[in-house]
Amino acid sequence: MTEVRRAGAVPASLWERDEEVATITRAVDTLCADRSSPGTLLEARGEAGVGKTALLAETRRIAEARGCTVWSARGGETLRSVPFNVVRQLLQPALVSMLPEEAREYLGDWYDIAGPALGIADPGERQADPQGVCDGLVAAVRRLSRREWPLVLLIDDAHWADQETLRWLAALAERLDETSVLVVIARRPGDVSGDSARHLDAATAVGRPLAR
């Protein structure tokens, strides 16, 4: 009953996507219902032109209508080798609005480790441990998801995201229980290989596919 009413409250702008839109709406409602709700990851997987970007746009519309903060980023075929490019894009709205002291407070002990990856702290002399940076970014998103709740993160063209971002995404997916955030990613089935494919598959294995 409730679902029918809610679906009716959102004018349909996509053809034949009722099931996907209902899943997204439910996930947004779960997020908005409770600050401590566990996070959700949804995956729209499909070939070029099937409507993945359109579905992300619809997600933004639904989420913003319910008062969510929505941040988005996309992978770029020519930017795959730029470490942390996509996660930096994604968190940009928070990073640009934070004063350095605030960022230090939000990242806490992780500031020196994850700060350089986010472009907000100078890299130190030592080469950062990749796992440490990844953990630091997961911790940063956990804090941001509390500060910005209800927070929705959209990642388009995830098959073209840089490997460091995908590693972070897999780690975040594993810890969604502790992070009240909705993550929706769009990806083509191919176009990704090696470690990137491994991380992306690990992330989406935890998440739920939107009907394709």
Ligand X SMILES: Nc1ncnc2c1ncn2[C@@H]1O[C@H](COP(=O)(O)OP(=O)(O)OP(=O)(O)O)[C@@H](O)[C@H]1O
CB of 14 to ligand X, least distance (A): 4
Give 30 or 53: the residue with its C-beta nearer to Mg ion: 53
Cα 47 to the center of its chain, rounded Å: 20
CB-based contact 90:72 (threshold 8 Å): yes
Which residue, 12 or 205, has its beta carbon nearer to ligand X? 12
Round to whole Å and give the CA distance between 196 and 204: 12
CB of 71 to ligand X, least distance (A): 18
The item of Mg ion, ligand X, none sharing an interface with residue 49, based on CB under 5 to 8 Å by kind, is ligand X
Binding residues (CB under 6 A) for ligand X: these are 14-17, 46, 48-54, 188
Q: Which is nearer to ligand X, 54 or 202 (CB)?
A: 54
Q: Amino acid identity of 47?
A: E
- 188 and 49 Cβ atoms separated by less than 8 Å: no
Rounded distance between C-alpha atoms, residue 191 and residue 202, angstroms? 16
Residue in the structure block whose two tokens are 């407070």: 105
What's the DSSP call for residue 39?
Answer: P
Q: Is 50 in the site for Mg ion (CB under 5 A)?
A: no
Q: 30, 37, 53, 92: which one contacts Mg ion (CB under 5 A)?
A: 53
- Minimum gap (Å) between residue 181 Cβ and ligand X: 22
Q: Which does 14 bind (CB under 5 to 8 A by kind): Mg ion, ligand X, none?
A: ligand X
| 8-state DSSP, 13 | -
Interface contacts to Mg ion, rule CB under 5 A? 52-53
